[in-house]
Structure 1
Amino acid sequence: MYKLFSEWYKRKFSDPHAVSLVVILISIALFITFFSNLLMPVFVAIVLAFLLDLPVNKLVHNAMSRTLATVIVVSTFVGFALLAAFVLLPLIWKQSSNLLQEIPHMLTLSQGFLMTLPEKYPDLVDVEQIKSIIAMIKNNFLQWGQLGLKGSLNAISDIVALLIYLILVPLMVFFFLKDKSELIGSITFFLPKERRMANKVSIEMNQQILNYIRGKIIEIIIVGTATTIAFMLLDLQYSLLLGVLVGLSVLVPYVGATVVTFPVMLVALFQFGFSSEFGYVMLAYGIIQAIDGNVIVPLLFSEAVNLHPVTIIIAVIFFGGLWGFWGVFFAIPLATLVKAVINAWPSIPEIEPDQKLISETTPGVVEEK
């Protein structure tokens, strides 16, 4: 067993650059795991700076100073963020409040509908089964309500911190963009000199992550806007709220679209019942999902490394469990990073017994099969 492990270690870790890559990756993962709560504004600022670096570089390429280009790009971004905060968020908050007020009425209607099932289908449904289902639904809604109340109280207590973040994050984004070269130089000073593999993987992943973030944001905007417009044209209640939910659902591949289907279906069902309007809503929603999966995603992510759906789901579960929302958001790039590291990992080919004999009789010569 020791010999087997020793030979595997020599094949996989004989290159010091590979060892440096492992140390760098483990250090970054541990740092994020232990300090993510404390340094979350810094991580958010790094993500935003990474996203805004491309327009800054384009302006610098057009003979503009990096400071002026950073001021223009950051100011534009903050302006759009404030516009969304003061225009969209109040509407979403209002629709969310109205939906929460409608939930007791929806539960009452659902209870009445379920109680009619034993009369219509006495051989299939029992009254006690319906009562147990109703009790389970009420208990779940009670638990969700308690969690929502705790979240509201925590949000109120953290409002001062939120205001501080709203000031600090744009400032950090500005300095990350303005002093990019100096900051990168100061970080690389602490890295090992044997980092050829780390540089290779970072160059490969830089464009991958940038394309993914940009594509995912574009996908959220397209899907959310199209869904909102379609629901408005069909006169569906809470169209903006549902459109935002559908847009954000693309963050979690496969699972997000399945989960967000239930609120869309329930709202349409309680508003229209089993009617043609309900069918039109679900048809429009299905068409948007089909266009997203078969047209938008292939166009936006054509340069991304192909990953098996099982790999994507495992990555979402694993990284989401580690780092929450940002783990889910970066699940695909992180899975791609793991795949790139595995593909780039150096390995000394294992020598067969006959090759060992030849190499021992003729030093320095190994016969190729």
Structure 2
Amino acid sequence: MSIKIKDQPFYIQSTAVLLGIVLLIYIMSLLTDILVPLAFAAFFAILLNPLCNWLQQHKINRALSIVMAMLLAIFVVAGVFYFLSTQVIQFGEALPMLEKKFSLITIHFKEWVAGSFKISVEKQDQMIKDTLNNSQAIVGKTLNGVLGTLGIIFLLPVYIFFMLLYKTLILNFLYEVFSEENSKKVGEILSETKGAIQSYIVGLLIETTIVAILNSTALVLLGIKYGILIGCIGAILNLIPYLGGIIAIALPVLMATVTKDGYSSQLGVIIAYIVIQFIDNNILVPRIVSSKVQINALMSIIVVLLGNQLWGLSGMFLSIPFIAVLKIIFDRIDDLKPWGRLLGDNIPTRHLGEKWRNRRTKSIVSS
């Protein structure tokens, strides 16, 4: 006689679920180097799938259509990197002058700190040296992260090609794993998942492009040197929640400090970026990025932090589409629907406790 978990007391059910989650997270952490490239490849394969289907409809072989779609994507990415590299070259030509000016500002700042806080310049230098020594481990982690990212870049084309090539095989497997009576639910989940991921990634690209244009325009109008480069870098950093926005503002403020006298330019940069962030957070993200990924703000913050803890920078990027897929699955399974509602952005006007209490009161009065 088999005993079902659902028939057990709540504390046994919750313990079993908790152990399952802990085991899953441990495996995901252990297999980071394998799972992260596969996750990115799955998202990009879904993004390129409509183009591959369109090419196949025009009598092009499946393998050739996949190669053509990937080459187009690589061409677009290469064009963006070429544009940024030309800006970086111009920045490199003026680097000696900027270093000289920055050193002069640093000396003045140290003298101000020594006069205001009675900390000698020598002691400040020693504090900076100690900080740099303590940050060597962080630099090492960053280098490992960069190497891991390069590994992802080299593996991505291979994974994307085979995922698109064996798309039918993978879909058939997903249908066959579940019983035939659940095929409708499986089809709905797969269709909504594909739509959510495509909408999210395309929306993210559109949002980044608009923010890059707004940043660059504002910096050029304010007369900040290399405004186009810094504006584009700021838009890319904006993809990293929280920390990215802070660094994006710090870069143009630092450039204005190094290249201009006074503080009016720095103030102008801060005001301009606050306005752009307001437009981004209240207009672009809700209407472009989050139109299909309907996750409430609280869960978004928690999930992004958890993703960072699990997979670092890659986890922060993957967390929102991943939780959107989970919500789609939760909404289709009766026992998991409360979790789907918890993740969603539909705020109820009344809580169920009040509703049930009123219902009990009415039944007592009527009896």
- Regarding TM over 0.5, the answer is yes
Q: 1:273 to 1:165 in 2, by over 3 A?
A: same
Q: Give yes or no for contact 1:316–1:332 (8 Å, CA) kept in 2.
A: yes
Higher relative contact order (CA 8 A, sep 6+): 1
Give me the whole-angstrom Cα distance separating, in 2, the residues matched to 1:264 and 1:50: 36
Q: Give yes or no for contact 1:253–1:312 (8 Å, CA) kept in 2.
A: no
Name the residue aligned to 2:156. Answer: 169
Name the residue aligned to 1:366. Answer: none
Q: Which runs of 5+ in 2 are unaligned?
A: 337-366
**Matches for 1:108-119 after TM superposition, within 5 Å:** 108-116=104-112
- In the alignment, which of 79, 83, 98 is matched to residue 79 of structure 2? 83
2:33 corresponds to 1:37: yes
Question: Residue by residue, what CA displacement relative to the aligned partner does 1:157-211 show, whole Å, maximum 9, x if unpaired?
Answer: x69x959954x5334423322331123334655x454994666544443322221
Q: Which amino acid aligns with 2:306?
A: F
Question: Residue by residue, what CA displacement relative to the aligned partner does 1:225-269 show, whole Å, maximum 9, x if unpaired?
Answer: 432343244442343442233112332334432342222222222
- In the alignment, which of 113, 131, 140 is matched to residue 140 of structure 1? 131
Name the residue aligned to 1:334. Answer: 322
Question: Residue by residue, what CA displacement relative to the aligned partner does 1:121-179 show, whole Å, maximum 9, x if unpaired?
Answer: xxxx4313988666544543565578558866997xx69x959954x533442332233
Give me the whole-angstrom Cα distance separating, in 2, the residues matched to 1:256 and 1:262: 10
2:270 corresponds to 1:282: yes
- In the alignment, which of 6, 9, 15 is matched to residue 8 of structure 2? 6
Name the residue aligned to 1:183. Answer: 170
Question: Residue by residue, what CA displacement relative to the aligned partner does 1:63-107 show, whole Å, maximum 9, x if unpaired?
Answer: 655445334322211222333344433643774796699568535
Q: Give yes or no for contact 2:307–2:315 (8 Å, CA) kept in 1.
A: yes
Q: 1:152 to 1:48 in 2, by over 3 A?
A: same
Q: 1:337 to 1:40 in 2, by over 3 A?
A: closer
Q: 1:162 to 1:6 in 2, by over 3 A?
A: closer
**Matches for 1:194-273 after TM superposition, within 5 Å:** 196=182, 201-273=189-261
Question: For 1:128, what is the secondary structure of its paired residue?
Answer: coil
Name the residue aligned to 1:72. Answer: 68
- In the alignment, which of 46, 49, 53 is matched to residue 50 of structure 1? 46
- In the alignment, which of 297, 304, 308 is matched to residue 316 of structure 1? 304
Q: Give yes or no for contact 1:219–1:250 (8 Å, CA) kept in 2.
A: no
Q: Give yes or no for contact 2:47–2:201 (8 Å, CA) kept in 1.
A: yes
The Cα shift of 1:338 comes to 4.5
Q: Which moved more, 1:132-141 or 1:247-256?
A: 132-141
Q: TM-score, normalised by structure 2?
A: 0.68
Give me the whole-angstrom Cα distance separating, in 2, the residues matched to 1:316 and 1:154: 18
Q: Give yes or no for contact 1:11–1:347 (8 Å, CA) kept in 2.
A: no
The Cα shift of 1:117 comes to 5.9
Give me the whole-angstrom Cα distance separating, in 1, the residues matched to 2:145 and 2:287: 41
Aligned residues between the structures:
329
- In the alignment, which of 100, 117, 127 is matched to residue 118 of structure 2? 127
Q: Which amino acid aligns with 1:246?
A: G
Q: Give yes or no for contact 1:228–1:242 (8 Å, CA) kept in 2.
A: yes
Q: 1:187 to 1:68 in 2, by over 3 A?
A: same
Q: Which moved more, 1:180-189 or 1:206-215?
A: 180-189
Question: For 2:240, what is the secondary structure of its paired residue?
Answer: coil
Q: 1:240 to 1:5 in 2, by over 3 A?
A: farther
2:96 corresponds to 1:92: no
Q: Give yes or no for contact 2:234–2:247 (8 Å, CA) kept in 1.
A: no
- In the alignment, which of 310, 326, 334 is matched to residue 346 of structure 1? 334
Give me the whole-angstrom Cα distance separating, in 2, the residues matched to 1:253 and 1:77: 25
Percentage of identical aligned residues: 23
Question: For 2:241, what is the secondary structure of its paired residue?
Answer: coil
Give me the whole-angstrom Cα distance separating, in 2, the residues matched to 1:336 and 1:68: 32
Give me the whole-angstrom Cα distance separating, in 2, the residues matched to 1:49 and 1:256: 26
Give me the whole-angstrom Cα distance separating, in 1, the residues matched to 2:293 and 2:40: 25
Give me the whole-angstrom Cα distance separating, in 1, the residues matched to 2:193 and 2:93: 42
Q: TM-score, normalised by structure 1?
A: 0.68
Question: For 1:274, what is the secondary structure of its paired residue?
Answer: coil
Give me the whole-angstrom Cα distance separating, in 1, the residues matched to 2:6 and 2:54: 53
Q: 1:128 to 1:279 in 2, by over 3 A?
A: closer
